Structure 1
Amino acid sequence: MNEFTLHDVQCFDAVVRAGGFQAAASALHRSHPAVFAAVARLERQLGLALLDRSGYRVRMTADGRAFHRKAQTLLTEFAGLRAYATQLSMGEESELHVVIGDLCPRPQTLALLSRFFAACPGTRLHLHVEAVAGPLERLLDGDADLIVHRVDKRDPRIESIGLCEVELVPVIAPTLMPERLPKSVKPEHLRELTQCVMRDTARHTPTRDYFVVEGAPQCTVSDQSMKREIILQGLGWGHLPRYLIEDDLRLERLRSLAGRHLPGAREKIVAARRSDRPHGPVAERLWRYLSQNGPDMFADSVSMHR
């Protein structure tokens, strides 16, 4: 068996993933003959038939499947090495973009960022506040280096650090509460009342409604603090983070509507970044800093999630 090259293995992997030579060539930005020749060379050097070309579409042989499975370790290690080399060549970033989501406990989040960036005077922090799907959209669009918000942990493009768990409670001011409201409130009992909801700052992500009562009049706001004030003044009802309204509930300025039909929700707040892109040295230090200090910072005021 002769020595084979990483390039030839990458071409074979691309053919397998893309389902054919032409699609692999497009994915690799190479010509069809170049990819075909690379795979043929790899087979010749290994002394194995990796692909069955007898059908309409190429398929892996048994040897091809075994070799491809083993090759994943090499390809993953190489991708990590390339990302590390990119990081080394970056140098200290002159700026970082961080997005805070609408559900984040802001005092703790801002305190963490303030302490970190005080020790990084050469890196300018660009801080953005987004709501609903806005933070994740900014991250996936490449407009943010890091977000503090809820994410779908099943997305392979994202890695995250658990910070806290926020409870969302449906609440209403006593002055707005109807006289004959059942003990177990259903959404239809509130349809005649104005519902205060967050305005989604996403620009192109499909809108997802959270807790919206169909047919009810709405008041839209851009942040949770304004939402709390509107609900306190009896201008609407809605869901608010418990950490924001603990005193209001205790002093009965607000009443909880939570029950079997309006259960509220618990949202896991994380620090998240792209896992499929390299990160500079300051971004790496920020990631380690949040991992080491983030959960403890939130522990005293909101429920922990590790």
Structure 2
Amino acid sequence: MFRLVDRVSAYTLDQFLVFIAVVDCGGFAAAARKLGRAQSAITYAVRALEEQTGLVLFDRAHYRPQLTDAGRGLLPRARLLVEDLDDFHRHAEGFAHGVEAAVSLVVNEFVDQGLVIGALDSLRRAYPSVRVRMAVKPFGDDIEMVRAGQATLGVVAAISSLGNEFEARQLVDQALVAVAAPSHPLAAIRGPIGLGQLRGQMQIVWTRNITVTDSTDLGVHALDAWHVTDLNAKLHMLRAGVGWGSLPAHMVQEDLAAGRLCVLDMESWEGRDRMPSVSSFVIRLKKGVPGPAARHLVDALLAKGGAPK
């Protein structure tokens, strides 16, 4: 360990910066102009680096110095060292200004993840040092993670009151679409489909819990229904023609475009003349002050969702 410290301490960051500048500028004089130094200082720094490595880094027999094999081999490592030190400085500067080391996010499975990923990309570009931990959870579990402090922010699809402990900002209303495979009997019906026509066809229903009868199931119109706890499993069943059901529009848009699913024209849905929608919100606990990265992520989510900041 001490031998390593002795070897490393013999080098300076300036030596690597000068070495790279000579290569990039094509010569000692040009590097001196770029760095605003005397050419003798550039020459000294390179010679010091050569002495400490025991290698000749430049062939000076030509009009312009040429990298030797050793110089070409060490150049990418010198660049990496400088980049890592610059990254270290940016991380340290960020922490000094209160930037979080990490932001944790929980996303409801009904939410359009394209919106979330777009906002996360904005966060990555603005705060590259901040790590992100993201979980995808169903109704209830998403809100509970924020309430328990396991997630800094939640992007939730609200179907009930969130509670006074949360600050909530609405993002978008996500429409639900009733769909079935082209081979399904309901897909052959032209015109609005009445409730009587739905009752005799198997419906695939998303539910939180399959161990008990869930009296809060919404939108169940068929006499026979299969319940699943995973939206992707429901989507696969619908593609296979097992039954019909509703899903968020963003989940089925590619299948509709490719002809794997068809939109069912519903005459009514739970007493309304149109399909319902699910509102999504970005939430956080009111207690505590969000850091710069969390605030940026909230603003990016609102911008992606088209909501006012």
* Equivalent residue, structure 1, for 2:246: 239
Q: Determine if contact 1:185/1:261 at 8 Å carries over to the other structure.
A: no
* Equivalent residue, structure 1, for 2:144: 137
Select 2:285's aligned residue among 274, 279, 293.
274
1:250–1:189 Cα change, 3 Å: same
Compute the displacement of 1:146 (Å): 0.8
Matches within 5 A, 1:37-52: none
State the AA in 2 paired with 1:278.
Answer: G
Compute the displacement of 1:124 (Å): 2.4
Matches within 5 A, 1:252-267: 253-261=261-269, 263-267=274-278
**Structure 2, unaligned runs of 5 or more:** 1-96
For 1:265 and 1:209, the matched residues in 2 are separated by 14
* Equivalent residue, structure 1, for 2:130: 123
* Equivalent residue, structure 1, for 2:179: 171
* Equivalent residue, structure 1, for 2:194: 185
Secondary structure of the corresponding residue to residue 294 of structure 1: helix
* Equivalent residue, structure 2, for 1:148: 155
For 2:110 and 2:121, the matched residues in 1 are separated by 19
For 2:245 and 2:305, the matched residues in 1 are separated by 24
State the AA in 2 paired with 1:244.
Answer: M
TM-score by length of 1: 0.55
For 2:148 and 2:197, the matched residues in 1 are separated by 40
1:287 aligns with 2:295: yes
Compute the displacement of 1:144 (Å): 1.7
* Equivalent residue, structure 1, for 2:120: 113
State the AA in 2 paired with 1:185.
Answer: G
Secondary structure of the corresponding residue to residue 185 of structure 2: coil
> Considering only CA atoms, is the larger Rg found in Structure 1 or Structure 2?
2
Q: Determine if contact 1:185/1:257 at 8 Å carries over to the other structure.
A: no
* Equivalent residue, structure 1, for 2:81: none
State the AA in 1 paired with 2:288.
Answer: P
Percent identity reads 18
For the aligned residues, what is the CA RMSD?
3.5
Secondary structure of the corresponding residue to residue 245 of structure 1: helix
* Equivalent residue, structure 1, for 2:168: 160
Q: Determine if contact 1:167/1:242 at 8 Å carries over to the other structure.
A: yes
For 1:130 and 1:118, the matched residues in 2 are separated by 26
Select 2:230's aligned residue among 219, 222, 237.
222
State the AA in 2 paired with 1:158.
Answer: F
1:260–1:248 Cα change, 3 Å: same
For 1:134 and 1:267, the matched residues in 2 are separated by 17
State the AA in 2 paired with 1:238.
Answer: G
Deviation per CA, 1:39-63: give whole Å up to 9, x if none. xxxxxxxxxxxxxxxxxxxxxxxxx
**How many residues were matched structurally?**
205
For 2:191 and 2:100, the matched residues in 1 are separated by 57
Deviation per CA, 1:246-288: give whole Å up to 9, x if none. 454466631324222454211221211111x103424xx4234
* Equivalent residue, structure 1, for 2:204: 196
Secondary structure of the corresponding residue to residue 103 of structure 2: strand
Compute the displacement of 1:212 (Å): 3.0
Compute the displacement of 1:139 (Å): 1.8
**Structure 1, unaligned runs of 5 or more:** 1-89
Secondary structure of the corresponding residue to residue 230 of structure 1: helix
1:240–1:116 Cα change, 3 Å: same
* Equivalent residue, structure 2, for 1:97: 104
1:163–1:220 Cα change, 3 Å: same
For 1:153 and 1:217, the matched residues in 2 are separated by 28
Compute the displacement of 1:128 (Å): 0.1
For 1:120 and 1:180, the matched residues in 2 are separated by 52
